[in-house]
Amino acid sequence: MKILSIQSAVAYGHVGNSAAVFPLQRIGVEVLPVYTVNFSNHTGYGAWRGPLIAPDDVREVITGIEERGVFGQVDAVLSGYQGGEGIGDVIIDAVARVKAANPNAVYACDPVMGNAKSGCFVAPAIPVLLRERVVPVADIITPNQFELGFLTETDPDTLESTLASADLARAMGPRTILVTSVERPDREEGTIEMLVVDDAGAWIVQTPHLPMKANGSGDVTAALFTAHYVETGSAQTALERTASSVYDLLKATLESGERELQLVEAQEFYANPRMQFTARQVR
């Protein structure tokens, strides 16, 4: 499997491609990483160095890959945080070119906008760009519950309202919706959930909630789910594998006492997920 991953990169820590590439490689995926920024560290530190890469330069890198004749072998395009409006156009164009070479390729978009605690932390134009132009050309999207509400102009909180919002998102274009960080009032105390909806149904998986914030965990989640879903065609299997791997990655990070994801140390959890969580069909 080959995945063209168009995301940010950092030298220290793990977000964007610096979070997604290694777990994908560890499960046997050939990754073609294209960088949209090249920062010293993620912006959560409040200070960082390095350049935003101009959209035209990102496009040039993608064109160079195309000229090697490999677009016909690309199974999926993956994108995450979009720092500026111009990158969205580059990604949309890349998806069209990949699909022209391989009509079976899929586009997985992580529509990064914010979260329930921090609110929306991207430029005001980005949510509009995602809602109106990027999400409609995606096959898979991986929003958290807050982002799902933002995209669909709803306020999902219960299982029923989250399913309804996912259906609205599917009506926008993508057929598969993975909702991360689902929090509903009637869930078991000390747990958190992920929900996936596709043409075959809907499944929810519950894991213990770990008391931590881990930058980059959403990038790992989107990458692993995309690869497992493309490989198996099963939303349930992809959800269970992803939940297992990401939970063990986060647990290892929490136990280490480090701020950054223990991405390398947790590598066995990607290659051989323990499959300790079972997804329940809810529709």
- Tell me the whole-structure pTM to 2 decimals: 0.97
Of 76-85, 141-150, 250-259, the least confident:
76-85
Domains within the chain, CATH numbers bracketed:
2-281 (3.40.1190.20)
pLDDT tens by residue, 51-65: 999 999 999 999 999
Token reading at 212: 């931590």
- Please say if the pLDDT value at position 84 is more than 90: no
Over range 255-283, report the average pLDDT: 98
